[in-house]
A and B are shown apart, each in its own frame.
Chain A
Amino acid sequence: MSKQSEIEKVRMVEMFDNLRADKYPLKEFNYVGQNGPRRVDGLAKASGQADYTMDIQLPGMLHMRFLDSPYPHAKILKMDTSKAEKLPGVRYILRYDDPELPESENLGHVPVFENDKPLDGVAHFEGQPMGAAVAADTEAIAEEALSLIKIEWEERPFNLDPVAASDPNVPLSFPERYSDGNFWNRGVLDELIHGDVKKGFAGADKVIEFKFTRTGHTWIGPERPCGVWRWNGDCAEVWLKHQRPYVGKARISSWFGGIPMSKIEMHMLYQGASFGGWTHVDWNLGGLYCAAVVSRRTKRPVKYVFTRREDFFGGSLDEAVYFVKVGFKNDGTITAVNATAYHVNCTSPVFSPVLHLHENTRIPHLRGQQKSIWVNKGPMVALRCEQLVPVLVQTMVMDRVAAELGMDPIELALKNDGGEGHDMDWLNEQKKERGFEVRDSLKECIEKGKAEFKWDESWHKPGTRKLPNGRMHGVGFTWTHEWSDSSGTGEIAIRIERSTGTATLLGIRCDNGVDAENSYCRIGADELGMRLEDVHYNPRFDPGFHPNSPDSAGSMSVNGWATRHAARILKQKILESASSPTAPTQRGSYQPAFRNTKPEDLDIKDSVIFVKSDPSRQMSLAEFVRPMATQGPLANTEIQGARQAWSEPLFAYGYHVQLGDYNPNDPRERFCRQAHFMEVEVDTETGEIFITRVVNANDVGKVINRMSCEGQQYGGSVMGMSRGKLEEVIHDPVTGVMLNGNLIDYKVATIKDVCPIGTILVETGMGYGPYGLTGIGEDIATVVPGLLAPAVYNAIGVWIDEFPITPDKVLKALGKI
């Protein structure tokens, strides 16, 4: 290995410590930061060619459907499947009490939480798939068979409200798992304490207290959870609709006494959305497990599908009741915040309600408490995303204090900006210390956002601006840091294809639609010196490398680094291979393509290797690697005594460990910010809210794929508006049955329900990834919902403390009902 490679290796190790600014960024970019079409997946998706797991049909395939519990808490005492089994076309009915089904299996995604039972005999929420799985020739037959199963149920008492269920005297919601009471906090960030809130309140000029609630909302991924399993001998061929291929494969390999990884052929097709949600539900893989068992017994491939109604589980972690107390000075500096949240059914780590206040501000005293209560609803998970909780609290705290003081919330934000209880001077010191250019990210986001939104002309005292159309006008503002929150690792490899000299990125990944593959290609192209059209990525192919996936807000940092490492190492290899003799054997070696050169004399541009001092000496990569001979790459090395040219395999891998964000041991300060503006009109006679404008300003550090970033801004705004105004899962209080498990009664915004959305990208370079980038995928959908509350407050002068903010709540706040 040449000295240069060693340097590259050293650089890689240095970059593992991504607490610091990028020491070796590229100086020029051809593709990073540019616009371009959806070159990886666009045509397939627009033309209907993109295939999804839901579309899979295999010869002899059986369709599997699950029994759903009609009760929120009930045990099966007796189950008679005899009539169902006789229905023509039914091939197998797997029962919950089947001896092969384990009590507990490795199905989940977060190790700290309990393993789950594939096909339980006890239901803990209405509609829970459990009891029986029917495999039949068609889905319609499977469905009909389910209605023929006779069950004797033992109904048990149930709970729906977390505060009520936290009372130790009420019945248990899930005695099998939580036998000591419904309050269960393992794996949930119990308490975040910074400073001493008592002291903070004592030193405040004013203290306010308020409570607010967020009812449950869910992901509504267009493609329902599904999967296909086919045994090929003892090899498992699996079509997996899952956000994290590695987790899926690792779990599968632990089943049935252990399946070697090399005997799992995993297909990750296009996925109809993946916002966390269902993927994170422990039981997502439970369906696959049942399919595997039935597939083995019937010797046929089995496809399981959840109905749209069954998909309504995997709701969001921010379903909670929040109690907040804030102390502040008259000049707007906040002195203390104490927040307690009663969460429902956490199955993923929930971040403290004061986490963002801790990360973003100079507030010296904070205390955040989580209480996770189990009630008889489905599991709650990180659903674009777990930051919903601290973001909502930050918005409510900041905007309520601003309202109390009659202060412009932007002014208040700038006053409180900082980090971990320290002010901006301290934060700027950290930026310097870590090698970043000192930029005031929040200020930059605000300035750009204000200008586009015309904030200064729009903001006014609450409840004072009536429009000519009779509605009340209001504007709202919120902010937080631009997070990139995967404390994880990613690995990726790049190969130069022999026959074409093009680069293929190798790493199986969930394609959740953010066009990240294109972004990695851009990094690869710029780092390698290749044309973008010569760099490709098929995330469906499983080469055994697993990029961080997908956590769009986090993956870009991790996978960006991994891609860059791989590309730099590969480039070095190419230049070495081009300048060194190759294939030393007893009979000598081959002459290099570029004789009498050293690697440092060469470079690559537009997919062409050339001598820097004499660019006329050049060879395209395609020429360099040579077409494959008919018998393979190493054949025909000698024809009639003359040596044929060939090149060694050109391949490199890179990996990266993401420290410096949600690693509790050594967190890095959050430097990049985001600012959001919303305008509303409120019809005070009907309570209807019209969102008329939204502007987002996100500091992504460095834009890689401009249109992809913007897509997250307007896409996230649409989801945010929908969540804030329209979405909630509704249960019947008397029977615990879900009432709106369909797309008519659960309301997702249509194109007519959204407004013009501004998308501003700021680039301060202070992120976690290469070139100072940070993620964006989660950052808008999570922040925009809460923004509705201050906007409505500004319109009508009354706070509404329940999300979603529906017309009945507006009328109630106005005293009209």
Chain B
Amino acid sequence: MKEFKHFNAYSIDEAVSLLGRYGDRACVIAGGTDLLGKMKDVILPTYPEAVINIKTIPDLNYITQSDEMLKIGALTTLAEIAHSEAVRSRCLALAEAACRAASPQIRNMGTIAGNICQDLRCWYYRNQNNRFSCLRKKGGRCYAIKGDNRYHSIFGGSVSGGCMAVHPSDTAPALIALDAKIKTSSRMIDAQDFFEVKPVKTTVLKTDEIVTEIQVPAPPAGTSSTFLKFALRKSIDFPIVNCAAMITVKDGKVAGARICLNAVHVVPYRAARAEKVIIGKSLNEAVAEEAGQAAVAEAKPLEHNKYMVAVARTLVKRAILACTG
């Protein structure tokens, strides 16, 4: 890697202050499993001048529960979340998502905040030495549109300019399905509203803002959640499609549903149409199938990723059926 300055932040204020000073010339490092890959491959036209370590901020690694809420510190690792009894019992989708992300070693290093803040994996964007100066690097176009787009968006381009990359996080759709909130150094954001893809950025975080906590509300009675991941390999791989669902059943009928797909669009994709299909109904194969169809009704696949539509449809159906058990 090229040279850079390194700072340890010992408090949230210090991190914010350093970020304020450096602006977009600095990067935050937590687990480092995303950032170091980007730096080694020199994927961007500019290289960070400073790397700010937030692992030295105390008291950001915890899982606490109350009747209303589960609170998870930003630096809690994916492994800790995957194995936490509290998380498993109250928001299984999140535990499963954390458990299926990456590899065991990376789960020991990667943090929940890092997982939702991670950058996109499009192989044009990530090609070394900034080989493709694409939309997200303030370049001219999205190279996936006419290129090999087998892992790219099935719901069209991003709002700002047509980027066809997909968001790669496993925990993001789980947090959205679980109606989580993201607490930052300056505000609270609904998980659903946290993601926004622009050049360089993948979230709504300001340059001098960091995630400090994830809050997952306690689910009402009769609620279960699930997470499914589709990838070519059973470990290490980013998702090709994943799906998280949280469904509340009352008197045999669906009273509440939150279903979220990811890796199908540039930000996690809330399958609102699918939710509408199942609300008020008893769940069975046919209803779940219909919901799956509805989830992909607005799909606009590219030349090489039509299969992702079938996979997304299937995952939605299966996630719904898994919540009835």
Residues of A within 8 A of B (CB): 70, 140, 143-144, 147, 309, 685-688, 725-726, 730-735, 737, 739-740, 744-745, 747, 749-753, 806-808, 811-812, 816-817
Q: Assuming A726-B233, A734-B143, A734-B147, is B1 touching A816 (CB within 8 A)? A: no
How far, in angstroms, from A747 to B129 measured CA to CA in the complex? 22
Number of B interface residues at 8 Å Cβ cutoff, please give it.
33
* Docked pose: A137 CA to B239 CA in angstroms: 40
Q: At the interface, yes or no: B131 with Cβ under 8 Å from chain A? A: yes
Chain A residues within an 8 Å CB radius of B310: 685-687, 811, 816-817
CA distance A112 to B305 in the complex (A): 43
Nearest CB in chain B: distance from A755 CB, A: 11
Task: Give the residue of A144, A147, A732 whose beta carbon is less than 8 angstroms from that of B147.
Answer: A732
By DSSP majority rule, is chain A's interface helix, strand, loop, or mixed? loop
Question: Of all chain B residues, which has the CB nearest A688?
Answer: B230
Find out whether the CB atom of B230 lies under 8 angstroms from the CB atom of A70.
Answer: no
Cβ–Cβ contact B233 & A808, under 8 A: no
B150 contact set on A, CB distance < 8 A: 808
Let me know if A737 and B1 touch, CB within 8 A. no
* Chain B positions 99-132 with a Cβ under 8 Å from a chain A Cβ: 121, 123-124, 127-129, 131-132
A737 contacts which chain B residues (CB < 8 A)?
A: 127, 131-132
Knowing A685-B310, A686-B310 touch, does A732 contact B143 (C-beta < 8 A)? Answer: yes
Q: Can you give 25 contacting A-B residue pairs, CB < 8 Å?
A: A70-B129, A140-B1, A140-B2, A687-B310, A688-B230, A726-B232, A730-B148, A732-B124, A733-B147, A733-B148, A734-B143, A735-B143, A739-B123, A739-B148, A747-B232, A747-B237, A749-B233, A753-B234, A807-B232, A807-B307, A807-B311, A808-B150, A808-B305, A808-B306, A817-B306
Q: Is the CB of B236 within 8 A of A750?
A: yes
B132 contact set on A, CB distance < 8 A: 735, 737
Assembly CA distance A787 to B235 (angstroms): 24
- Is B227 part of the binding interface, using a Cβ–Cβ cutoff of 8 Å? no
User: Separation in Å of the B236 CB from the closest CB of chain A?
Assistant: 6
Please give the distance in Å from B201's CB to the nearest CB on chain A: 22
Assembled-state Cα–Cα distance A725/B233 (Å): 10
Query: How many angstroms between the C-alpha atoms of A70 and B132 in the bound complex?
Result: 10
Neighbouring A residues of B148 by C-beta, 8 Å: 730-733, 739
Give the 9 A-B residue pairs with the shortest CB-CB distance, closest first. A808-B307, A752-B234, A685-B314, A817-B306, A739-B123, A750-B235, A752-B235, A811-B307, A732-B147
B9 within 8 A of A: no
Q: Does B146 contact A (CB under 8 A)?
A: yes
Known: A750-B235, A753-B233. A144 touches B309 (CB 8 A): no
Known: A750-B234, A752-B233, A752-B235. A734 touches B307 (CB 8 A): no
- Check B269 for interface membership: any CB of A closer than 8 A: no
B42 interface hit (Cβ, 8 Å): yes
- Contact indicator per residue, chain B 229-257, by CB within 8 Å of chain A (1) or not (0): 01011111110000000000000000000
- Is B233 within 8 A of A144, CB to CB? no
Contacts of B131 in A (CB 8 A): 70, 737
Contacts of A734 in B (CB 8 A): 143, 146-147
Say yes or no: A687-B2 contact (C-beta < 8 A), given A733-B148, A739-B123, A747-B237: no
Supplied contacts A686-B310, A753-B234, 11 more A-B pairs, CB within 8 Å: A70-B131, A686-B311, A726-B232, A733-B148, A737-B127, A737-B131, A739-B148, A749-B233, A808-B304, A808-B307, A812-B307
Give min CB distance, B292 to chain A, whole Å: 9
Choose among A147, A731, A806 the residue that contacts B42 (Cβ–Cβ < 8 A). A147
Known: A739-B148, A817-B309. A745 touches B2 (CB 8 A): no
Q: How far does the Cβ of A458 sit from chain B's closest Cβ, in whole Å?
A: 23
A687–B236 touching, CB < 8 Å: no
Structural contact, B129 and A147, CB atoms closer than 8 A: yes
B240 CB, min distance to chain A CBs, angstroms: 8
Are A144 and B2 in contact, CB atoms less than 8 angstroms apart? Answer: yes
| Contact with A806, one of B124, B143, B232, B237 (Cβ below 8 angstroms) | B232
Cα-based distance from A796 to B180 in the complex (angstroms): 42
CB neighbours of A147 from chain B (8 A): 42, 129
Q: Which residues of A contact B238 (CB under 8 A)?
A: 744
Partner of A739, one of B1, B127, B314: B127
For the complex, give the distance between the alpha carbons of A739 and B123 in Å. Answer: 6
Q: In the bound complex, what is the Cα–Cα distance between A730 and B304 (angstroms)? A: 13
B235 / chain A contacts, CB cutoff of 8 Å:
750-753
CB neighbours (8 Å) of B306 from chain A are: 808, 817
Shortest beta-carbon distance, A812 to chain B, in Å? 7
B307 and A687 form a contact (CB under 8 A):
yes
A751 CB contacts on chain B under 8 angstroms? 235
Q: Tell me the minimal C-beta distance from B132 to chain A in angstroms.
A: 8
Give the CA-CA distance A147 to B150 in the complex, in Å.
Answer: 31
B42 proximity list for chain A (CB < 8 A): 147
Write out the residue numbers on chain A whose beta carbons fall within 8 Å of the beta carbon of B147.
Answer: 732-735, 739
- Which residues on the A side are within 8 Å of B234 (C-beta)? 750, 752-753
Question: In the complex, which of the residues A70, A749, A807 has the most CB atoms of chain B within 10 Å of its own CB atom?
Answer: A807
Nearest-neighbour CB distance to chain B for A223, whole angstroms, equals 18
> Whole-angstrom distance between the alpha carbons of A140 and B148 in the complex?
31
CA distance A733 to B144 in the complex (A): 10
A731 to B131, CA, bound (A): 13
Looking across the interface, which residue of chain A has its beta carbon closest to that of B129?
A147
Interface residues of B in 280-312 (CB under 8 A from A): 304-307, 309-311
CA distance A685 to B307 in the complex (A): 10
B82 to chain A minimum Cβ distance, whole angstroms, is: 15
B residues in contact with A750, CB < 8 Å = 233-236
A726-B233, A732-B124, A747-B232 given; A686·B314 CB < 8 A: yes
**Which residues of B have CB within 8 Å of A685?**
310, 314
The docked-state distance in angstroms from the alpha carbon of A745 to that of B168 is 13
